[in-house]
Amino acid sequence: MIRERDLKNLFPLHIPSMEHIRAMEEHFSSLRELVQESIVGALRIDFLPSETEFGPDGTEGLVVQACMPVDENTCQPFGFLSGGASLALAETLAGYGSMLLLEQGLRPLGASVSANHVSALAKGSLALGIARPLHLGRSTHVWNVDIVEYGCEDHLVSTARVLNHILPKPQARPCGEGHN
C-alpha cells in the first residue's frame, strides 16, 4: 500500500492529494462520450469514486474501483466471465488509477498484464475490480488488481498485476503526418 509520505518521495514536484484525484475524476467524467467509444464502453465498465483506506499501521492508501457486468460482451461461450475480459478490466482500471495520479502532460501506457483466474463468475453477475498501487515511480507504476463478485468481496475471481509506463503525452500532429 502506498502511504502519503511515500507519495512525497515518489512525486517531489507534484504530490497527488484527494482533491487532485477528485478533479481528475471530474475531468475524466467530462470525457464520457470519448470513453464510451473505447473498450470501456464496449465492456460497460463503470468507474466508482476513488477511496482511501487505512492499513493496519494506520497509513492511508489509494483504492480505485470499477464494475463490469458479466454478460454477452464479457462471457466465454459456457456462460462464465472470460479471462480476457478480466484482463481488460484490470488493465483499464490500473491505467485509470495511474491517470488520476499523474500531473498534466503525462499519460500511462499499459506495458504488461499478468493474472491468475482462481474461480468462475456466472453470467448475470457483476464483477468488481479493486486496484491498489504497489509502486509509483517516475517512469513506471505497478498495480495489483483483484476482481471479485460485487456484493461478495470474499469471492476472488482473478488477481492481476499491471505495469504501466509513464510517458509524456504525444504532441498533436497535422492530419496526414504519420509515424516515422
- Catalytic residue positions? 91
CA–CA separation, 81 and 84 (whole Å)? 9
DSSP state of 122: B
| Chain centre to alpha carbon of residue 9 | 22
Written as nine digits, the cell of 66 is 470499477
Dist CA 96 CA 78 (whole Å): 30
**Residue 74 in contact with residue 68, Cβ under 8 Å?**
yes
Q: Which residues contact 69 (CB under 8 A, 6 or more apart)?
A: 44, 125, 126, 127
Q: Categorise residue 124: left if φ over 0, alpha if ψ from -120 to 50, beta otherwise.
A: left
Amino acid at 125: S
Within 10 angstroms of residue 20's Cβ, the number of other Cβ atoms is 15
Q: How far apart are CA 148 and CA 125, in angstroms?
A: 10
